[in-house]
Structure formats: C-alpha cells, structure tokens
Amino acid sequence: MFRSLMFRAGITGTAVITGLAISTNPALADPTPPITAAAYQLAPCDPRGTTARDASLATQLNSTLNAKMRGYMSAYRVSCARMIIKAVRDRGLDLRAAAIAMTTVIVESSIQNISEKVDHTSLGLFQQLDSWGSAEQRLDPTWATNAFLNKMLRLYPNNSWRTAPIGEVCQAVQVSAYPERYGQQAGDGQIIANTIWPYAGGGGTEGPAMMRDDGDGSMTIYRWTSTGSAFSRASDYTSGGWTMSNTGDRVASGDVDGDGKDDVVAAYQNSDGTFSFHVWKNGVSYAGKWYTSGPYALGPVGGRLVLADLTGDGKAEPAMMRDDGDGSMTIYRWTSTGSAFSRATDYTSGGWTMSNVGNRVASGDVDGDGKDDIVATYQNSDGTFSYHVWKNGLSYAGKWYTSGPYALGPVDGRLVVADLTGDGKAEPAMMRDDGDGSMTIYRWTSTGSAFSRASDYTSGGWTMSNVGNRVASGDVDGDGKDDIVATYQNSDGTFSYHVWKNGLSYAGKWYTSGPYALGPVDGRLVLGNW
C-alpha cells in the first residue's frame, strides 16, 4: 500500500501549511482570484494520511475545475474531500448532498481542516463556531460533515434540499455575510463530488457474489463480504420462477441508486420477445424491473453487459454491446434515475466482426475524467489484437494498444478493466490459459490516452477449465488499488476464491467452500461493496 503520509499526527495533530486564503463564518475573505497565501495550522482529514490516488485525482481536478480551486487541489485537499463525501455516502444521502457539502467547504476553508481559530471561534473544514461542538468534534471531518447535514435536513424537510439551488442551501446552513459566494463555487463543488464519489466508499468491503442456477426453475445470489484479508459468507437471495438460460452471463454489479453500496443487475429475455433489467439492491433485496424494452433479442448481446457510471453522476447504468448481424455493432446505453433506467444515446460502429471480440468487453474510467468508459479487445486478421476504447460508452476514442502476435482464444471472456495501480485511471488485464497447465495475468497501465504494457503474473499449476470465465476485479483489501479475484473448482467438489493484489501479487485463497459445483454459476461472478 503506497501512501504519502503528509501528516503523522492523529486527528487533532497539527501541521503548518501554506495555502489559499479562507472564507470564515461569516465569510470575510475574497474567495475568487487573485488568491493570497496564508499559513494556517491544519489537522489531517484522514488520520492514515493521503494516498497515491488522492494525488492523481488532485492533478485531474486542477485541470477540470473552473473557479477558486483550479490549480490549487492537492493530495491533502482531496483526502479532505474524500472524507466529507464518504460521510455523505455512509449517511445514505446522494451525490447532490455531497456537492452541497463540497461547495460549502470550498468557500469556508478552501477544503482545509483548519485547527486554529482564525475567525472568532471557527474551526475545521466547515469553519463551525464553538456553539456547534467541541474542538475535537469540529476537527473530525465525519462529525463536522454530519453536523452540517443535520442542519441542512432540518431546514429542508421532505428532501426539499434536492431541488433548491446549491448556493441557497449552503447559505441557509452557514448564514454567511456573503451569500453569493456559494453559488459562485457550486459548479466546482459538483465537479469535485462527481470525481471523488466513486473512490469514497470506504474500501476493504468489496466482496464477491455469484448468481447460480438452482436447477429447479429458481436461482440464488450467493454473497460474501471482505475482511480485507479473507471473504466471509453473507446472506443470500433466492428467487421464485427464474429461467437462467434467459439471462446467460448478462449479470453485472454497480451502484445504480447512488447510495454508496453496489447492486446487482441482470438482463432477462421475456417470453414476448422483450427483455427486462432486474435489480437487486446490495445484491440481496429485489427491487423489481427497472426497464422493459420493446422487441429486442438478447442472444446477439452474448455476455457483453457492463454496469458503469458512464455519465459521472454517481449512479451506475447498464450498457450492452450487441451484434447487429450486418458486420456492425451497437452499444446500447441507459441512464439511471436511482429507481429506473431510461434509454440514452447509442453508438453504432462501421465494420465490426463480433466473433473477434467474444465476451471481452469491460468498463472503467481509463482516462481519469470521473466517467467510466468501455473497452473491448479485438482479434485482428494478422494475429495481433487491439484494445478499442469508447469514452463514456459513446465516443469512439480509437485503438489504445495493438499487440504483437497474440491469440485471444485462450483468454475467453477473462478481461477486466480496473484501477490496479491506484492512480485514478483504470487499465485492462487478461487472464490467459498458457496451454501447459499454467496461466498468465497480462497487465497494462493507462496514460489517459493509451495503454502500456506492465509486469505480468504467471502461475504454477492451474487448470483454466476449473475457472471458466469467473474472474472479476475490485478493491478487496481497501488499499485504494483494485485486485483480481477468480473462483476455482477444486478436485474434491469444493471451490476456492483466489486473490491477486493489484492483479500481480498472489495473495492466496481467501475462501474455500463446502461441496459446491461452479458449473451452474457459469460466468456470473461479480464483485461489489454490499
């Protein structure tokens, strides 16, 4: 775990940092450029310090922000924003609440946990007065954020804060002498919230889930949670009538309602020729059908369903790459309202032979812009392959990598796109059968506009047919870097979850079952923060 330990003190420890001039409560400093330098005693926001991802996101934000904080984001400020947004997510509130909180701290403290009383008795990120709580409480980002949210919810009952202007809500809570300043920073508050939201879930909680055919016209979603070093069994969901052949491998996971916890989505072919997206919140609570199509055959989709935040709004939505049957393909897209999926703009290719792709389609934020993208591997006629990228699942960005001679057949559908390096950009990895009783995880890194080869992992004895396509990625140990997980059918009828930290370092078996056949699971393995 690579961490830049900017602060070594506890939450009440201090460090002197030269930074932006702050706006106090009431806000007195000018929050717009030119920005003057001032030294304040600062407390850490995350007692563990900052991460490599914090630094990467700071670099990204410095080029995307438009107002006061443009060019002034740092790993420390991102760590503060991360703790604020995590508190919002843990509270069960949505992305708009995070944007309101971020707008407030931009104006009040320039996203710094100020531990000296610069203005009257104000302290912390929100510059809360003594009347709000003790110094220790106000310097705790989680406590301070919840205190802010408590007042916001009192002032705006029945979720009316969701439709009120962001600047107006900030002013109602803070009662500043300069109310117009919040509105001036609201756009950047939203950008920061959108960018950091996917990385503020707490880490160390992504565990596997598998949808398994029960063989009696029903199915079960088996779930596990992560301790950070092992997987533990969690509660399951068992359906009523369910024909698994109508689903195939079209199962994916992501946070479709923006509550900070991942959900499971499956595409199901209905008997009338339509299909429906079924949703299970947190993988265990059935939330019904979120979309039913007109006539649409799922067969040409194969297993090419992804669930990703393609819009950057903090909610994941489905997309499917479908063979048009005429030498072209279409990426069908939807957006999420938080309770349903709505059709969005599609992408249709020119010449495209889907058999050259198979099920090797995955999603992740490969350019670090806070929105997920779609990646497909394509077998070229000369024996090489290329990674094709569609930004936000819609805008074709070309080939980001072309290999030397390399057959994709032994990869089958074992492609993942994940932030294995913790730099805020996702990159592809493929688990390939070496054909000699071993396997190799081939890895790449992302520059934001291309993929570059990285170091690989090669196993000892490994029978790939015991894995099938049951390979997925997520941050299972909470170090800010994604990992790779595979299920392996053991010779005694049990199975084991094998883990590779950052896709490279083998971490052993994190769980071994009792008797359990993986065949009825097929490729329906996902990882999520349940």
Q: What is the 3-state secondary structure (H, E, C) of 283-325?
A: CCEEEEEEEECCCCCCHHHCCCEEEECCCCCCCCEEEEEEECC
Pairing of β 219-226 and β 329-336: unpaired
- Of 400, 486, 395, nearest in space to 440 by CA: 486
Q: What is the pTM of this model?
A: 0.77
Structure tokens at 423: 């730099």
Parse the chain into domains and list their residue ranges: 3-199
At 98, which amino acid appears?
A
Judging by beta carbons within 10 Å of its beta carbon (0-12, 13-18, 19+), is residue 157 exposed, middle or buried?
exposed
CA atoms within 13 A on the CB side of 522: 16
Cα 511 from Cα 224, distance rounded (Å): 9
Per-residue pLDDT of the chain (530 residues; tens, 9 = 90+): 222 223 223 333 444 444 444 444 444 333 333 344 457 899 999 998 888 778 888 988 998 899 999 999 999 999 999 999 999 988 888 889 999 999 999 999 999 999 999 888 999 999 999 999 999 999 999 999 999 999 999 999 999 999 999 999 999 999 999 999 999 999 999 999 988 887 786 544 799 999 999 999 999 999 999 988 999 999 999 998 999 999 999 999 999 988 778 999 999 999 999 999 999 999 999 999 999 999 999 999 999 999 999 988 878 999 999 999 999 999 999 999 999 999 999 999 989 999 999 999 999 999 988 889 999 999 999 999 999 999 999 999 999 999 999 999 999 999 999 999 988 899 999 999 999 999 999 999 999 999 999 999 999 899 999 999 999 999 998 787 899 999 999 999 999 999 999 999 999 999 999 999 999 999 999 999 88
Q: Which two tokens stand for residue 431?
A: 């688990």
- DSSP 8-state assignment for residue 267: E
